[in-house]
Amino acid sequence: MNLKKYRVEDKLKLSAFKTNETGKGSEAEALERSAARQPKLAAWQERLYAEGKQSLLIVLQARDAGGKDGTVKHVLHGLNPQGVVVTSFKVPTAQELSHDFLWRVHAAAPAAGMIAVFNRSHYEDVLVTRVHGLIDQPEAEARYEQIRAFEALLMGRHTRILKLYLHVSKDEQKERLQARLDDPQKRWKFNPGDLKERELWDDYTRAYQDAISATSSKDAPWYVIPADHKWLRDDLIGQLLLETLDDMNPKFPEPSFDPAAVQIR
Amino acid sequence: MNLKKYRVEDKLKLSAFKTNETGKGSEAEALERSAARQPKLAAWQERLYAEGKQSLLIVLQARDAGGKDGTVKHVLHGLNPQGVVVTSFKVPTAQELSHDFLWRVHAAAPAAGMIAVFNRSHYEDVLVTRVHGLIDQPEAEARYEQIRAFEALLMGRHTRILKLYLHVSKDEQKERLQARLDDPQKRWKFNPGDLKERELWDDYTRAYQDAISATSSKDAPWYVIPADHKWLRDDLIGQLLLETLDDMNPKFPEPSFDPAAVQIR
């Protein structure tokens, strides 16, 4: 599949992107592709780690039940946990709030050789804050500028940044929330507060559109991933990850010594 | 297999443990058992994460090329990276050295719901320091006491601690180091400095015996894992992990609300 069509090139209108796309083949084919991709991803990851120069940052944003946790579980579970750090950003603590909004995020940026995943991110600080009126438009614009500068700083140290918005419909969210209520093994993921956010659906749509439009660039693009079908979501993100690592092309480093001259006694 | 025989119950003599054990079945059977165990481990991990009360700390220690990285890769790669944090402790930085030796380790202790893996650990501070004469016997004894108190603190907050010494022979180490030299894809793991440590083999044996004997207890036991055969190592550690999680028995939490009363609009 050509992933370009999911990339946000200019002003984003979410309604222009389908949530329930099914791609060209069947679900079974997508699952097979995803499974076949795991060892390839693991091989690239080992090179990235061995090289120790570049790093990869994956930013996951979505509405509640949009599939952030599922993406981490299904797309990344085959990687070596030694080279992956997942940070789940929650409601900021008192200490975090006593700093600028990028302080806690910066601390979680990937070290050279590593893959970092942000499950929610600094973008919450221009989304939930915006929807609830904690910041106004000028403050949002200032933060967009700060975000662009922050991401440029990371890119300057060879961090590749992929930003993914998992795009689900309002109906699909309802089904998933209901499933969390009905299944005792999923109920721990249900947060009654999510229903209040659901009522603000259109406000979130506007906030996402504004934030993504202002921060998608050639070097740090946003992708709108159709996510009603989990198997397509995982297939697309896996492909994107593989293409990105392939493009980064990390290499096993050359030794700083002459291997032939070493004698092990 | 009964794992008790690998547990350090009193004063440890490493020569009493075999490095090249092969267990009862074949290599193929061990690999099959390990593969079949992955989904079970993942299921327990999800419960641990959902429960959010207990945590698990796995301490990995071994000589160079003893298999620490391989254990992380092969035993833990099927877990959800969102619930696992691997910390590789390197030579301490200047900032770390300006604190007590447990400072950087404490910061990496697992949060409730998480599995933490220490690839090397606070035990380096009673091993490499000891072998190189940076601390003497009284200081080592003082640190053992500090380690016992630190681990008791973690256990008091429901952290289960497993400490694993991966036991390889001097010949096996030689083979593995040579393989790293010979294979361009493995050469990045070869550190010429490892050969100096290899010359101190017997000093390390004494230091390990002393440290492990002083810090193995019923609640935070050390296991000496035969590790010349990677497939047996992975099978034994996988089994130990599964038995430990089974014994911890984390449960999906009860909801704090009445699911039947919730209406999703």
Q: Profile chain A (265 residues) by mean pLDDT over runs of 10 residues.
A: 93 97 93 97 97 98 97 94 97 97 98 98 98 97 98 98 98 97 95 95 98 96 98 98 98 93 93
**Interchain proximity A81–B78, CB inside 8 Å:** no
Select from B58, B63, B80, B176 the residue whose CB has the most chain A CBs within 10 Å, as the one to mutate to test that interface. B80
Task: Over range B3-15, report the average pLDDT.
Answer: 96
Residue B1 confidence (pLDDT): 79
Quick one: CA dihedral B5, B9, B14, B16, positive or negative? Answer: negative
Chain B 220-239, residues with CB within 8 Å of chain A CB atoms: none
Task: Tell me if chain B has a CB within 8 Å of the CB of A188.
Answer: yes
What whole-number distance in Å separates Cα of residue A170 and Cα of residue A93? Answer: 30
> Interior CA angle at B64 toward B58 and B70, to 5°?
50
What is the predicted pLDDT for the residue at B250? 98
- pLDDT class of B23 with cuts at 50, 70, 90: confident
A contacts of B198 (beta carbons < 8 Å): 264-265
Q: Average pLDDT, stretch B42-53?
A: 98
As a whole number, mean pLDDT of residues B258-263 equals 92
A191 vs B: CB within 8 A: no
Residue among A79, A88, A264 whose CB faces B195 most closely? A264
pTM: 0.95
Contacts of B252 in chain A (CB under 8 A): 184-185, 187-188
pLDDT in tens, B165-197: 999 999 999 999 999 999 999 999 999 999 999
B68: number of Cβ within 10 Å: 22
B132 touches chain A (CB under 8 A): no
Amino acid B241: pLDDT:
98
B93-105 pLDDT per residue, tens: 999 999 999 999 9
Alpha-carbon distance of B215 to B123, in angstroms, equals: 10
The per-residue pLDDT for A23 is 86
pLDDT tens digit string along B197-251? 999 999 999 999 999 999 999 999 999 999 999 999 999 999 999 999 999 999 9
The three state secondary structure string of B157-205 is CCEEEEEEEEECCHHHHHHHHHHHHHCCCCHHHCCCCHHHHHHCHHHHH
Phi-psi category of A44—alpha, beta or left, where left has phi over 0 and alpha has psi -120 to 50?
Answer: alpha
Q: Are the C-beta atoms of A21 and A258 separated by less than 8 Å?
A: no
**Which residues on A lie below 8 Å from B189 (Cβ)?**
50
Domains, in order of start, for chain B: 4-248 (3.40.50.300)
Residue A9 pLDDT:
93
pLDDT at A127: 98
Q: What is the pLDDT of residue A1?
A: 79
Q: Tens digits of per-residue pLDDT, B61-82?
A: 999 999 999 999 999 988 999 9
User: Given a cut of 90, is residue B151 above it in pLDDT?
Assistant: yes
Position B114 pLDDT exceeds 90: yes
Compute the C-alpha angle A59/A62/A63, nearest 5°.
Answer: 155
Residue B112 pLDDT grade (very low, low, confident, very high; cuts 50, 70, 90): very high
